[in-house]
Amino acid sequence: MIVNQTELLKPLYNYTILKDIALDESVTSLTNDSRKITPGCGFIAIQGEQFDGHRVLAEVIEAGARLIIVEKKPKNIESLNATIVHVPSTVKAQAILGNQFYQEPSKKMDVVAVTGTNGKTTITHMINFMLERIGHRTGLIGTVQYKIDQQILPAINTTPDSLSLQQMYHQMVEASCQDVLLEASSHALMLGRLWYTSVNCAIFTNLTREHLDFHKTMDGYAQAKSLLFSQLGQQFNVGRAPLAIINQDDGAGELMSAVTSADIVTYSLQDKGATAYAHSITSSSGRTDFVMEFQGESYEVMIPVRGSYNVSNFLASCLCLVYYYDYDVTKVIEMMQHFEGVSGRMQSIQEGQPYEVIVDFAHTTDALERVLSELVAHKSDNQRLITLMGHSGGNRDSEARPELGNILFKYSDLVILTADNPRYEDVTKICQEMIGSHNDKAYHIVVDRKEAIQFAVDQAQTNDILVFLGKGGEPYQVIENQYLPYDEASVVRQTIQDKLSKSEG
């Protein structure tokens, strides 16, 4: 795209042109990454945790940047051969300018945003699955991957920065996408990554302990999540109000409902007065059956994923299809029978081994409790539950570790503790903090995760249930400051195959 500099700056009110070299020129691209400079581009200098774009202004101008947006006035401005514009906040400016440069792309699609501690990925994938089955072209932005129609891109953050989002929305519009399914993390909401994203439907799943290193308190965490709903409902789209879908089983749902002017529907496994209410839930390997009460009718539903929490995820997805997309509820129920699940979410691994193997992303206390209680409720007396887990919060929220350990030891016959995303923290120290007062229980610490998986598979006996927790479909492992490519399901599959090959040999 090409946009005149004066036209690009038009949406801004509070800015000062420190140096006018090329205001009559056009901007050929817009970036906040000094490594992605192209001739004629605009560069937005962001001061991040690890890198400050203000330090490389001379370099980006030499590489071809013609418009520079700063929040710190450069001392060497006379030597900078580009238009220099000062704003109070470049983080806010990049959201405004990105939206302007790409011509308000999110307004050209239906945007469904999901927030909450757990369930975001499954719900976005459920909705995406159903929309694709009825012929929609969709975009998907979340923890597991980014998707532009059928093009799959690796996910770096659950929610990218606002400029990257606007660029991605533009690519989706160019690919004729009609819908965007977006995971809205609390970090993204607090840091303004969703500014100038036009959300039409917002879903709240639940709120449990996570990211308290960032939000400090649960109230602060809840306030961050509520930003999605307070920003929702300020304008009609094609004569319709935006829609908020709220989990009535979570107390924080009251806050989400209170701060939004959007129209509200609710779902519940406990409250018969909710818009959609599910009961009589039975779960077995690979499926869950239940009854849904909706609009005065009872519907028998089967979803091919296990767990009552996935019933909640289905209810949220169903309400989105029925209310926002005006789709028939019976067709939604029929379509979901063919849902293949999400990589790393209660993902069953079957390579011919005589024991059950599951890979799951559960890394918070609530998610861990849900997964393990579900498995224990349906295991027989002759089955052992073997769990493998680390703590994803290396150098973060260490206070969560004892409770994670309590849940592991509460349900497991054998616990294997290992690395997750240790960053700069000692893995053995993390594991010891998870063990807490459970030194009398059966456990092993194996620092290297791949070696721990090998150890876990070696312990498995016929009929056991072996669960690998915490990584799920996350495509990397964070060690120190490096994001190393990693695929838990592939590692587990290969380890099982190798063991089976040796036993056959």
**194 and 303 fall within a common domain:** yes
Cα–Cα dist 374/338, whole Å = 22
Give the ranges where 181-328 is alpha helix by DSSP (H).
Answer: 186-190, 212-215, 218-230, 253-259, 308-319
- Whether 241 and 296 map to the same domain: the answer is yes
- What one-letter code names the amino acid at 433? E
State yes or no: pLDDT of 210 exceeds 70: no
The CA distances from residue 400 to 119, 158, 182, 445, 488, in Å, are 19, 21, 27, 18, 23
| Most confident segment among 130-134, 345-349, 435-439 | 130-134
Residue 446 lies in a domain: yes
Q: Which of 48, 72, 101 is the last residue of a domain?
A: 101
Do 121 and 97 lie in one domain? The reply is no
* pLDDT tops 90 at residue 97: yes
pLDDT band at 437 (very low <50, low <70, confident <90, very high): confident
Q: Are the beta carbons of 314 and 301 closer than 8 angstroms?
A: yes
The answer to whether residue 246 is domain-embedded is yes
User: b/e map of 185-203 (b: 16 or more CB within 10 Å)?
Assistant: bbebbbbbbbbbbbbbbbb
| Angle between helical axes of 120-133 and 308-319 (0-180°, round to 10) | 50
135 and 229, same domain (yes or no): yes
Q: Average per-residue pLDDT in the chain?
A: 90
What tens digit of pLDDT does each residue of 98-146 get? Answer: 999 999 999 999 999 999 988 899 999 999 999 999 999 999 998 778 9
Of 173, 112, 123, 183, whose CA–CA distance to 148 is shortest?
Answer: 173
Confirm whether 70 is domain-assigned: yes
Calpha distance 419→446 (Å, rounded): 8
Give alpha helix (H) positions in 10-51: none
Closest CA to 112 of 69, 79, 142: 142
Which of 54, 37, 36 minimizes the C-alpha distance to 45? 54
Shared domain check, 263 and 180: yes
- CATH label of the domain that carries residue 91: 3.40.1390.10
Q: Which pLDDT belongs to residue 215? A: 43
Task: Select from 309, 336, 363 the last residue of a domain.
Answer: 336
Coil, helix or strand for 482? strand
Instruction: Please indicate whether residue 118 or residue 321 has the higher confidence score (pLDDT).
Output: 321
Strand partners, 26: 4
As a three-state string, the secondary structure of 424-435 is: CCCHHHHHHHHH
What is residue 262's predicted lDDT score, i.e. its pLDDT? 93
Binding residues for ATP: 116-122
Instruction: Determine how many CB atoms are found less than 10 A away from the CB of residue 455.
Output: 16
Count of CA atoms in the C-beta half-sphere (13 A) of 275: 20
Residue stretches of the annotated binding site for meso-2,6-diaminopimelate: 396, 420-423, 470, 474
Count of beta carbons in the 10 Å neighbourhood of residue 145: 16
Report how far Cα 267 is from the mean position of its chain's Cα atoms.
21
For residues 230 and 329, state if they share a domain.
yes
For residue 341, being part of any structural domain is answered with no
168 and 309 in a common domain: yes
CATH number at residue 226: 3.40.1190.10
User: What pLDDT is recorded for position 451?
Assistant: 96
Torsion of CA 186, 192, 195, 197, to 10 degrees: -40
Q: Which residues pair with 243 in a beta bridge?
A: 201, 263
What pLDDT digit, counting tens, does each position of 255-303 carry?
Answer: 999 999 999 999 999 999 999 999 999 987 778 999 999 999 999 999 9
- Where among 46, 70, 101 does a domain terminate? 101
Angle between the N-to-C axes of helices 308-319 and 329-336, in degrees from 0 to 180, rounded to the nearest 10: 140
Over residues 153-167, the pLDDT tens digits come to 877 776 789 999 999
Burial (0-12, 13-18, 19+ Cβ within 10 Å), 358: buried
CA distance 220 to 208: 12
Q: How far apart are CA 433 and CA 398, in angstroms?
A: 8
Would 30 be classed as within a structural domain?
A: yes
How far is the C-alpha of 166 from the C-alpha of 3, rounded, in Å? 15
pLDDT of 504 over the 80 cut: no
Of 60-69, 98-107, 287-296, 482-491, give the lowest mean pLDDT range: 482-491
Do residues 494 and 415 both lie within one domain? yes
Does some domain include residue 51?
yes
The verdict on residue 284 lying in a domain is yes
More confident residue, 497 or 239: 497
Amino acid at site 260 = T
**Dihedral sign for Cα atoms in the order 390, 396, 399, 403:** negative
Residue 342 lies in a domain: no
Rg of the chain's alpha carbons, rounded to an integer? 24
Q: What letter represents residue 199's amino acid?
A: V
Q: Do 87 and 132 fall into the same domain? A: no
Among 470, 487, 466, residue whose Cα is nearest residue 405: 470
Q: Are residues 117 and 239 in the same domain?
A: yes
DSSP 411-471: H-SEEEE--SS-BTS-HHHHHHHHHTT-TTS-EEE-SSHHHHHHHHHHH--TT-EEEEES-
Residue 446 reports pLDDT greater than 80: yes
Domain range spanning residue 438? 347-504
Q: What's the total number of domains in the chain?
A: 3
- How large is the average pLDDT for residues 3-17? 95
Same domain, 240 and 360: no
Q: Are 233 and 262 in contact (CB under 8 A)?
A: yes
My answer on whether 135 and 257 are in the same domain is: yes
Q: What is the CATH classification number for the domain harbouring 496?
A: 3.90.190.20
459 exposure class (CB count in 10 Å sphere: 0-12, 13-18, 19+) = middle
pLDDT in tens, 13-53: 999 999 998 788 999 999 999 999 999 999 999 998 789 99
Q: Extract the annotated binding site.
A: 34, 116-122, 157-159, 185, 193, 396, 420-423, 470, 474
